[in-house]
Amino acid sequence: LRSCSPGRARRTNASRHACLVARFGDIYAQERLDAEAVLKTYISDTEMAQRIIYIAAVESFHAAKMAYRKLKIHVRETLSPGHSGPESLEDTVLDYIVHHEDLYDVQGSVNEVICSMNINPKISFPPEIDFIVISTLIRELCRVAFSMQTLIPPLDIAVGTDGELFSETKYHRSFDSDFTAALVVYHVWPALMENDIVIVKGEAVTKR
């Protein structure tokens, strides 16, 4: 394990927060659309392509959060015997992870996401094609989700359910929605949350 400067995580929290929120928006605007274009070369159903991308986002956050927890335990166990302050052990662990985010096995998370998607009953894909075709999107989502766990407080996404009541505070309606419908048919993109408060709206489709 390498050394790092203490206090880094708290000192850089605001700037990292701003960068990660902006990056989440960039992924929505760019990599999401690129992935949708790739999927549409294999399937003609726009709804299924958008469902696949939404589930990829949800699974990416889940995999990245699990990887963060495991890495945090490992770093804590490694640093604990020699820790003497002045920062708390938790702060020292956080500083270390922020300074060495390259320790995150992002490819391992990508593989986990693809495995989870292969057995998800809500989405289907031609059996001869693998979800690896959207691995660029998955990789970027895993990276940003992992980094968001190092923030104080960490950021997360809201996981929606089909048929839930549409929330104006949580989602934008997709352009092809029925704007008078009250229920979400499916989700296009998750909302970004901080302490259960929406800081970036997601996107959902409402129809009667």
Residue 204 placed within a domain: no
Report how far residue 67's alpha carbon sits from residue 51's, in angstroms, rounded to the nearest whole number: 24
What pLDDT sits at residue 77? 85
Residue 75 placed within a domain: yes
What element of type H or E holds 192?
Answer: strand 192-194
Residue 196 placed within a domain: no
pTM score, two decimals?
Answer: 0.91
What pLDDT sits at residue 10? 81
Residue 55 placed within a domain: yes
- Count structural domains, the chain: 1
What pLDDT sits at residue 85? 67
Residue 37 placed within a domain: yes
In 100-183, which residue ranges form alpha helices assigned H by DSSP? 106-118, 135-148
What range does the domain containing 140 cover? 9-154
**Full strand arrangement of the beta sheet holding 192-194:** 155-157, 192-194, 197-200
What element of type H or E holds 66?
Answer: helix 46-79
Residue 169 placed within a domain: no
* Number of H-type helices and E-type strands within the chain: 7, 6
Residue 170 placed within a domain: no
Running along the chain, 208 residues long, what does each successive block of 10 average in pLDDT? 60 92 98 97 94 98 97 86 74 84 95 95 86 97 97 95 94 93 96 97 95
Residue 173 placed within a domain: no
What pLDDT sits at residue 100? 84
The residues that bridge with 172 in the sheet, in sequence order, are 203
Q: What's the Cα-to-Cα distance from 54 to each of 69, 116, 131, rounded to whole Å?
A: 23, 13, 13
Report how far residue 192's alpha carbon sits from residue 95's, in angstroms, rounded to the nearest whole number: 24
The alpha-carbon radius of gyration of the chain (Å, integer) is 19
